[in-house]
Amino acid sequence: MAKPMQPIYLDNNATTPIDPEVLEAMLPYLREQFGNPSSAHALGGPAHDAVERARGEVAALIGASPDEIVFTSGGTESSNMAIRGAAAMNPARRAVVATNIEHPATDACCAVLERAGHPIRRLKAKTDGLVDAGQAALLLGDDTALVTIIHAQNEIGTLQPVADIARQAHAAGALVHVDAAQSVGKVKVDVDALGADLLSIAAHKLYAPKGIGVLYIRRGVALPPLLVGAGQEHGRRPGTENVPYIVGVGEACRLARLALAEAGPRMRALSQRLLARLQQAVPGLTLVGHPTERLPNTLNVLFPSVSGRQLLAACPGVLASNGSACHADSEEPSAILLALGIPREAALGTVRLLVGRHTTSEDVDGAAALLASAWFDQYSARRHESGDPALMTRSLDSRFRGNERSWIDA
């Protein structure tokens, strides 16, 4: 009997597998090198040195200095520290500017601040997912503490004109926080080129474990800590360092830096191949977001006349999602797609397909065939139920049936 094929993982913005080299780098610090980096004895030194090496690797990936890197528990904590901290720094500057397509880690911070009386102003994204940097000047003033902006949107992949907006923010005397949870490791991220004063990284999006992240804090920015305790991370994030995970994120950043030039074009080619295959098999399939100003790995497509959620439920051979993983139980259309002005009915057809470091062209072809086949079945059933005389023939179906990966019947 043939070996069953693995489902095809196309959810690499939700999370990535741990790279084997990252795991190897971590293992000694889960076994024999278990020391506390603050200990003065022989076990403390190697743990301390490992944390500092990792700090250097993170800094090197984003063009920062090691002393500007603070380890946190993940992207959510980094953004909380950045946004809530920056809003509390100066009583004369309480307003925060954000886009209307932020991740919940940012939106929830803005909601907390708003309840505490901080004005929150929104830069609106256009239908292509890009905000108009020209709007920023209208929202900035001498009351603005912070502009917080998602570099790459997690559902649609659009890359925002951060540098342009940051220039305007700085001219108005505001700080700039960049949520780079999705962009680091996929495209070049340089804190100076972006104009970031604060920048959040989530390690599990770049082949390191979950539960570890980074906040970049530009030298001279006196950001108050979220937590109080002992003096680790120079008091900016107290608590005994998670040495194995910090080693993991350091190694992941090293690998990402070495792979970046090759990985971007490779992922873009795979995404384009997937889109082309789907467009060939599914008439009316639409790409959401900007055609070029986007992450190389991210495709968000609208399947016509079907529910994307039901489509994926009928397609267990493809592990993908309909929006951010945090909303996976919801029947509501994605708030991000609605914010772009996509009509509710069309937005329900969304499927987010995210290639990664381990995706192959065979995976892409197999996933396209499975999705197109499931779409055809649901579309046909729907038209049949509605008594539409123009029910499509199976001949369309035959274009992709042959490519289908047979993991189900193996």
- List residues near ligand PLP by CB under 6 A: 74-76, 79, 103, 105, 150, 154, 179, 181-182, 202, 204, 213
Q: Which is nearer to ligand PLP, 144 or 158 (CB)?
A: 158
What is the nearest approach in angstroms of ligand PLP to the Cβ of residue 142?
Answer: 29
What is the nearest approach in angstroms of ligand PLP to the Cβ of residue 361?
Answer: 26
Exposure of 253 by Cβ count < 10 A (0-12 exposed, 13-18 middle, 19+ buried)?
buried
Q: Which is nearer to ligand PLP, 94 or 205 (CB)?
A: 205
Residue 331, Cβ neighbours under 10 Å: how many? 10
**CB-closest chain residue to ligand PLP:** 75
What is the nearest approach in angstroms of ligand PLP to the Cβ of residue 246?
Answer: 14
Q: Which is nearer to ligand PLP, 158 or 182 (CB)?
A: 182
Asked if residues 171 and 141 have their Cβ atoms less than 8 Å apart, the reply is no
Q: Which is nearer to ligand PLP, 45 or 104 (CB)?
A: 104
User: Rounded CA gap, 289 and 13, in Å?
Assistant: 15
Phi, psi for 95 (deg, rounded to 5): -80, 150
Phi, psi for 145 (deg, rounded to 5): -85, -40
Exposure of 344 by Cβ count < 10 A (0-12 exposed, 13-18 middle, 19+ buried)?
exposed
- 235: which 2 tokens? 């008091």
Q: Which is nearer to ligand PLP, 35 or 75 (CB)?
A: 75
Angle CA 117–121–125, to nearest 5: 150
Active site residue 110: no
For residue 193, the Cα-to-chain-centroid distance in whole angstroms is 20
Q: Strands (DSSP E) along 157-225, which ranges?
A: 175-179, 198-202, 213-217
β-pair type (95-99, 120-123): parallel
Q: Which is nearer to ligand PLP, 12 or 373 (CB)?
A: 12
Catalytic one among 110, 253, 315, 326? 326
User: Rounded CA gap, 313 and 319, in Å?
Assistant: 10
* H or E segment and range at residue 145: strand 144-150
Asked if residues 209 and 181 have their Cβ atoms less than 8 Å apart, the reply is no
- 142: which 2 tokens? 């001498």
Please give the single-letter amino acid code of residue 28: P
What is the nearest approach in angstroms of ligand PLP to the Cβ of residue 101?
Answer: 10
Please give the single-letter amino acid code of residue 21: E
Position of tokens 């489902």?
7
User: Rounded CA gap, 330 and 83, in Å?
Assistant: 27
Closest C-alpha among 352, 252, 338, 248 to residue 297: 352
What is the nearest approach in angstroms of ligand PLP to the Cβ of residue 185?
Answer: 12
Q: Which is nearer to ligand PLP, 74 or 366 (CB)?
A: 74
Q: Annotated active-site positions, please?
A: 326
